Chains A and B, each alone.
Chain A
Amino acid sequence: MSIVTVQLGQCGNQIGFEVFDTLFSDSHSSQGLCSKRENEAYQASCKERFFSEEENGVPIARAVLVDMEPKVINQTLSKAAQSGRWKYGQHAYFCQKQGSGNNWAYGYSVHGPRHEESIMNLIQKEVEKCDSLSGFFIIMSMAGGTGSGIGAFVTQNLQDHYAHSLKMNQIIWPYGTGEVIVQNYNSILTLSHLYRSSDALLVHENDAVHKICAKLMNIKQISFSDINQVLAHQLGSVFQPVYSAEGSFHYRRNPLGDLMENLVPHPEFKMLGVRNIPQMSENSLAYSTFTWAGLLKHLRQMLISNAKMEEGIDWQVRPPISGLPPLGKMPLNKELHFNTSIANLAILRGKDVQSADLEGFKDPALYTSWLEPVDAFNVWKTQRAFSKYEKSASLVSNSQFLVKPLDMIVGKAWNMFASKAYLHQYTKFGIEEEDFLDSFTLLEQVVASYYNL
């Protein structure tokens, strides 16, 4: 089954390019450490999901590019075409002349409705190219105007027009110290709307990825390109094919459906995060060896201590002792040390993957009480190595990991809202104070629900 990707705004398009590039490079890599037959099955599966074929053999990404001003889309299209290995569809983009001005209201209430038909038509064309649709992957940032506002609008539209297809939104959480001054307003409006219309929100925090670049990849002058490549690597590790129940040479067909089934048991809890190890510069890679035991031990501790990368993990954090009554309602400002999970999905790629021992993840103490670990934890595997890493382990979690950042954004937005600063920019385009209040209410609810796991 195929996934149709919608890339929105500068961020969405810049990341989208890196994602397709990573998926393509990996699927055509010669270091798969597996048999030719295995490799071919992997390639075919990746292609079915993400690329369609053109006459002269250059694969076309199953993607629609949307932006309200032309510079980024032009760059993205030409970068892909220049690579010579894959490209975007010639007409698969929608562009205007003037951007959304970092204004969620402008993106959602003006650009969205104005260009609804054109954008939905483009998406429909992409959908028609698929033999069978797994769903939509929407890449957007929260801080700006186009990705956030039009992203929210389009997701809602997809819900109306493709009610039986799944939607996963890849959301970029902005740096804590401003990229955009009104980023907190734009973020809460985006999150509250997506919570109602999306099936799952896969969140990547700029701060976290930035640290990975600095500490693990040893990049001195970190550019957005570097950040996006790390991000693309993490997404690739989740979305590249994995074995179905039959094992070797047979790959799972419905990536989005499988992800949702494993990770989103309850609509109140939709926020997912990814951790992927190992992650290091190519130079360091040459001198490192890994064992599954070591990787999984680190990954487990990263999960329960809410570490976003493999350095500076707090080994003091331990799961609560099973048998004790669950902790009652926690006050909102209590320090959260232990990261409780609702569901986890481990994805292992590489050599000797069958020997990996995942018992540590089945400990009921890691999870909330309302799901059995056998339902809350799943594993996917493939022997085919991913992107130069002989062994690569990813963990997609639905856990409390985002509660503190979310709480912080809601707090800052609320602070600004109380002083009424910048509100005139939103009311100008039809987003009133009540809309803000609705968003705050919904998100306070989400925060409280996650806190009380």
Chain B
Amino acid sequence: MTQSVVVQIGQCGNQIGCCFWDLALREHAAVNQKGIYDEAISSFFRNVDTRVAGDGGSISKGKISSLKARAVLIDMEEGVVNEILQGPLRDVFDSKQLITDISGSGNNWAMGHKVFGSLYQEQILEKLRKSAEHCDCLQCFFIIHSMGGGTGSGLGTFLLKVLEDEFPEVYRFVTSIYPSSEDDVITSPYNSILAMKELNEHADCVLPIDNQSLFDIISKIDLVVNSGKLDTTVKPKSLVTSSAGALKKQHKKPFDAMNNIVANLLLNLTSSARFEGSLNMDLNEISMNLVPFPQLHYLVSSLTPLYTLADVNIPPRRLDQMFSDAFSKDHQLMRADPKHSLYLACALMVRGNVQISDLRRNIERLKPSLRFVSWNQEGWKTSLCSVPPVGHSHSLLALANNTCVKPTFVELRERFMRLYKKKAHLHHYLQVEGMEESCFTEAVSSLSALIQEYNQLDATKSMPVADIPRLSIAM
């Protein structure tokens, strides 16, 4: 089995990362009752004998002694990382796997990418190499960051290039939080578009997510929980909604619930690689099946169920409802309407007591209402993992390579142009060494090229499927 390393950068990245590790521990605790350090746990955690000084304490088998997350935490301010290290998860992190500074990036991509990039390049490389050395077979780096700020956006994307050069065989999966239109950081369009160019060129797969969608989803859950109608109660042990049993008791922070959703996304994405099932799906299969052309690697995700009813026996109708929900625009983790755009490919990752016939029945049912590109009419990739997430009997993660990402990119470009035309705030960037106007123009044309690709695909949407003449052979 393979291992993955999580690199969490910036305030947003670290907060989400923290949620992720909390949930990962809970999930493994629920599945692994005997406390044996097995291959599933080893995908995200090391087993360490803390009595041994220095680095020699790794234990590869047997009982769990002390679990250490395979993580690297990076932030150019100390506040968030310090809080993590003083919080209930402090023992899960290896104190040597951190890089912090004091001043922060000032919401400036150039500061993050150019200044801190060069300043910390050596240290970053060292920490990454260390975490790779602790892995038997490293398959994937998961990078978590936001696009709108300075550190996550700038340093986070600098990191991508380092990873590509240093570990070319290891996949780079990036979870990027895109700024919503009401974002309070004025320069977020600049930061986002400068970061997008790097994502276009150096990421294997990007899972774009926006805060507004997460917020809407949480609001809906709250509505159900608080309405108290029709005997609906939320399952107490659901990882999504409840912090019962979590190491972090505090739920006052506004972003906690939203971060939980993203953390669940990452758990479900890797579940079929960690746990057994009748149709496994490894991480390398995700990019193989969902990325038809190297540049088109943006995957819209949706997660269901987000909450469950307290009834234990969920009849098949509920199961089918789960599939329908995954395709509704209310369940997407970014503002997108995949049903009314064009699918290039779609993956359905199911967990729990779901069998192949359930999967097929639902694909047959939903297929007619979805539009797939002409050369991939049956573009479905499916997986069945037997282990359900904590608190649910089954769950579904849908990943779609769909032209519905285009509006987000188009809007981002518009917001960028509104600022750029007036040269607003530009001097903050240009005064950083290594930054020129050409960085901006190149970034925006990279995005425009991407948008154009999606446009071309969309244009084929309403065309009838042409029959391409086959090879004719002489008999």
Residues of chain B within 8 A (CB-CB) of A177 are: 360, 363-364, 367, 378, 380
A224 touching B381 in the complex, CB below 8 Å, given contacts A101-B282, A177-B364, A181-B290: no
A69 to B357, Cβ gap below 8 A? no
Residues of chain B within 8 A (CB-CB) of A437 are: 471
Q: Which of B1, B139, B374, B475 contacts A448 (CB 8 A)?
A: B475
A99 touching B284 in the complex, CB below 8 Å, given contacts A10-B279, A178-B379, A422-B292: yes
- Per-residue CB contact flags for chain A residues 88-124 toward chain B (1 = under 8 Å, else 0) read 0000000001110111000000000000000000000
A101 touching B471 in the complex, CB below 8 Å, given contacts A177-B360, A178-B381, A419-B375: no
In A285-336, the 8 Å CB interface with B consists of 329, 332
B137 to A98, Cβ gap below 8 A? yes
Q: Which of B1, B379, B471 contacts A69 (CB 8 A)?
A: B1
B288 to A103, Cβ gap below 8 A? yes
Answer yes or no: A281 CB below 8 A from chain B CBs: no
Residues of chain B within 8 A (CB-CB) of A359 are: none
Answer yes or no: B439 CB below 8 A from chain A CBs: no
Answer yes or no: A414 CB below 8 A from chain B CBs: yes
Q: Which residue of B lies closest to A14 (CB)?
A: B278
Q: Which residue of B lies closest to A181 (CB)?
A: B289
Q: How many angstroms from the CA of A98 to the CA of B384 in the assembled complex?
A: 18
Q: How many angstroms from the CA of A10 to the CA of B285 in the assembled complex?
A: 14
Q: Which stretch, A47-55, A165-173, A392-400, A439-447, touches the partner chain B? A: A439-447
B360 to A210, Cβ gap below 8 A? yes
Q: How many angstroms from the CA of A181 to the CA of B278 in the assembled complex?
A: 18
Q: Which of A102, A220, A418 contacts B285 (CB 8 A)?
A: A102
> How many chain A residues touch B (Cβ–Cβ < 8 Å)?
55
A70 touching B293 in the complex, CB below 8 Å, given contacts A101-B284, A103-B288, A452-B475: no
Q: How many angstroms from the CA of A57 to the CA of B218 in the assembled complex?
A: 61
Residues of chain A within 8 A (CB-CB) of B382 are: 178-179
Number of A-B contacts (CB under 8 A): 137
Shortest beta-carbon distance, A17 to chain B, in Å?
Answer: 12
A444 to B1, Cβ gap below 8 A? no
Answer yes or no: A34 CB below 8 A from chain B CBs: no
Q: How many angstroms from the CA of A414 to the CA of B357 in the assembled complex?
A: 28
> How many chain B residues touch A (Cβ–Cβ < 8 Å)?
46
Residues of chain B within 8 A (CB-CB) of A175 are: 360
Q: How many angstroms from the CA of A182 to the CA of B378 in the assembled complex?
A: 10
Residues of chain B within 8 A (CB-CB) of A419 are: 374-375
Answer yes or no: A152 CB below 8 A from chain B CBs: no
Q: How many angstroms from the CA of A419 to the CA of B1 in the assembled complex?
A: 35
A425 touching B288 in the complex, CB below 8 Å, given contacts A222-B357, A414-B470, A441-B471: yes
Residues of chain B within 8 A (CB-CB) of A179 are: 279, 380-382
A71 to B280, Cβ gap below 8 A? yes
Q: How many angstroms from the CA of A182 to the CA of B1 in the assembled complex?
A: 23
A223 to B278, Cβ gap below 8 A? yes
A223 touching B376 in the complex, CB below 8 Å, given contacts A98-B284, A421-B293: no
Shortest beta-carbon distance, A170 to chain B, in Å?
Answer: 18
Q: How many angstroms from the CA of A175 to the CA of B382 in the assembled complex?
A: 11
Q: Which of A69, A210, A441 contacts B473 (CB 8 A)?
A: A441
Q: Which residue of B lies closest to A420 (CB)?
A: B293
- Per-residue CB contact flags for chain A residues 402-427 toward chain B (1 = under 8 Å, else 0) read 00000000111011101111101100
A181 touching B470 in the complex, CB below 8 Å, given contacts A14-B278, A98-B139, A99-B282: no
Shortest beta-carbon distance, B274 to chain A, in Å?
Answer: 9
A222 touching B290 in the complex, CB below 8 Å, given contacts A72-B280, A178-B379, A210-B360: no
Shortest beta-carbon distance, A13 to chain B, in Å?
Answer: 11
Answer yes or no: A180 CB below 8 A from chain B CBs: yes
A444 to B357, Cβ gap below 8 A? no
Answer yes or no: B147 CB below 8 A from chain A CBs: no
Q: How many angstroms from the CA of A183 to the CA of B2 in the assembled complex?
A: 24
B282 to A98, Cβ gap below 8 A? yes
Shortest beta-carbon distance, A342 to chain B, in Å?
Answer: 17
Answer yes or no: B311 CB below 8 A from chain A CBs: no
Q: How many angstroms from the CA of A181 to the CA of B287 in the assembled complex?
A: 11
Answer yes or no: B125 CB below 8 A from chain A CBs: no
A182 touching B473 in the complex, CB below 8 Å, given contacts A71-B280, A97-B136: no
A10 touching B280 in the complex, CB below 8 Å, given contacts A97-B1, A181-B376, A418-B468: yes
B470 to A411, Cβ gap below 8 A? yes
Q: How many angstroms from the CA of A70 to the CA of B355 in the assembled complex?
A: 22
Q: Which of A176, A227, A425 contacts B356 (CB 8 A)?
A: A227
A102 to B289, Cβ gap below 8 A? yes
In B263-314, the 8 Å CB interface with A consists of 276, 278-280, 282, 284-285, 287-294
Residues of chain B within 8 A (CB-CB) of A72 are: 276, 280
Q: Which residue of A lies closest to B286 (CB)?
A: A101
Answer yes or no: B345 CB below 8 A from chain A CBs: yes
Shortest beta-carbon distance, A403 to chain B, in Å?
Answer: 14
A181 to B345, Cβ gap below 8 A? yes
Q: Which of A103, A219, A329, A414 contacts B471 (CB 8 A)?
A: A414
Shortest beta-carbon distance, B2 to chain A, in Å?
Answer: 5
Residues of chain B within 8 A (CB-CB) of A101 are: 282, 284-285, 287-288
Q: How many angstroms from the CA of A445 to the CA of B380 in the assembled complex?
A: 29
Answer yes or no: A132 CB below 8 A from chain B CBs: no
Shortest beta-carbon distance, A175 to chain B, in Å?
Answer: 7
- Per-residue CB contact flags for chain B residues 441-475 toward chain A (1 = under 8 Å, else 0) read 00000000000000000000000000010111101
Shortest beta-carbon distance, A112 to chain B, in Å?
Answer: 17
A225 to B278, Cβ gap below 8 A? yes
Shortest beta-carbon distance, B467 to chain A, in Å?
Answer: 9
Residues of chain B within 8 A (CB-CB) of A415 are: 374-375, 468
Residues of chain A within 8 A (CB-CB) of B49 are: none
Residues of chain A within 8 A (CB-CB) of B1 are: 69-71, 97
Residues of chain B within 8 A (CB-CB) of A445 are: 473
Shortest beta-carbon distance, A370 to chain B, in Å?
Answer: 16
A224 to B276, Cβ gap below 8 A? no
Answer yes or no: B358 CB below 8 A from chain A CBs: yes
B356 to A222, Cβ gap below 8 A? yes
Answer yes or no: B39 CB below 8 A from chain A CBs: yes
A444 to B473, Cβ gap below 8 A? yes
Residues of chain A within 8 A (CB-CB) of B136 are: 97
Q: How many angstroms from the CA of A368 to the CA of B472 in the assembled complex?
A: 24
A416 to B376, Cβ gap below 8 A? yes
In B347-366, the 8 Å CB interface with A consists of 355-358, 360, 363-364
A182 to B288, Cβ gap below 8 A? yes
Q: Which residue of B lies closest to A422 (CB)?
A: B292
B375 to A418, Cβ gap below 8 A? yes
Residues of chain A within 8 A (CB-CB) of B379 are: 178, 181
Residues of chain A within 8 A (CB-CB) of B293 are: 420-421, 424
Shortest beta-carbon distance, B137 to chain A, in Å?
Answer: 4
Answer yes or no: A355 CB below 8 A from chain B CBs: no
Residues of chain A within 8 A (CB-CB) of B471 are: 414, 437, 440-441, 444
27 A/B residue pairs, CB under 8 Å, sorted by A: A10-B279, A69-B282, A72-B276, A98-B2, A99-B285, A101-B282, A101-B285, A176-B378, A178-B378, A178-B379, A180-B285, A210-B356, A210-B360, A213-B357, A221-B357, A222-B355, A222-B356, A223-B278, A224-B278, A224-B355, A332-B470, A422-B288, A422-B292, A424-B294, A440-B471, A444-B471, A444-B473
Known A101-B282, A176-B378, A412-B378; further 18 A-B contacts with Cβ < 8 A:
A14-B278, A69-B1, A69-B2, A72-B280, A98-B139, A102-B381, A177-B360, A181-B380, A220-B357, A221-B355, A223-B356, A329-B475, A414-B468, A419-B375, A425-B291, A440-B471, A444-B471, A445-B473
List residues of chain A with CB under 8 Å of any chain B CB.
10, 14, 69-72, 75, 97-99, 101-103, 145, 175-182, 210, 213-214, 219-225, 227, 329, 332, 410-412, 414-416, 418-422, 424-425, 437, 440-441, 444-445, 448, 452
The 10 closest A-B pairs by CB, nearest first: A101-B284, A178-B380, A222-B357, A97-B137, A421-B292, A419-B375, A223-B355, A224-B278, A181-B289, A178-B378
